[in-house]
Every structure is written in structure tokens, then in C-alpha cells.
Amino acid sequence: MIEILEITPLGLRLRASGEITARDYRQVLPSAKAIVAARGSFSAVVDIMQVQRLSFGAIWEDAKFDLRYFRKTDRIAYIGPRRTWLWLTSIPFATGGVRFFKSERMAQAWAFREQSANA
């Protein structure tokens, strides 16, 4: 499941938990696309502390979005267990970067995302 916690002019704040499916991912895409249409790019802070599994369909939906909107994705800040999801940052699908933050470093994750507005 993916919850949209906040939509701002810069981007999204999301919380993912359990198994992430293609359907979950497709529910978030309209918000991301709307921000790109309004601003020209978007950033996100994604809490993945409770994610247990990504389905192949979710990975595929993510890859399609990443390839289409690569130049329009500023920064992605993931909050969660780095070792489990390190591969998320191994493919550079955000022009401003993708970084991991521990849960106690939420403020740094927000600051990282906010930097895209000043670039």
C-alpha cells in the first residue's frame, strides 16, 4: 500500500507499507504527473520503513515512470532500512539525486528534497 501523506508544490510525501503492487503505484502517478505539469518537475520524500515486498508489476510501473520523467524528477529521499532497499538508489532516475535517510534523520530528508527548489 502507498499512502499520499502530503502534496506540496514541490512534490509528494508518501508512506509505503506491506506489499507494493502495480495498482498502488498507479494510484500515486496522477499526483506526480500533476506536479510535473504545474511546476515542470517534482521531488518526493518516501517512507519505506514498513515495506515488505515490491511486486514485479510495481517495479515495472516505476521503471516506466522513471524512463519517461527522468529529466523532470528532481530529488527522491527514501526513509528506511538502507541495506534492504539500497538498489533503489543504484539506478540514477532523478536528476538531483536519490538518497537514503534513517528514520531519525527525517529533517535531513526534507532538507534534501527542498534543495531542488533552490537549484
Between 73 and 117, name the one with better pLDDT: 73
Triad 89, 64, 60: Cα angle to 5°: 75
CATH 3.30.70.270 fits 2-111, yes or no: no
Helices (H), the chain: 22-39, 56-69, 82-85, 106-118
17's grid cell: 507499507
pLDDT of res. 115: 72
- pLDDT confidence of 65, banded at 50, 70, 90? confident
Instruction: Report pLDDT digits (tens) over 12-49.
Output: 999 999 999 999 989 999 999 999 999 998 888 899 98
Instruction: Report pLDDT digits (tens) over 71-102.
Output: 888 888 888 876 666 666 555 555 567 777 87
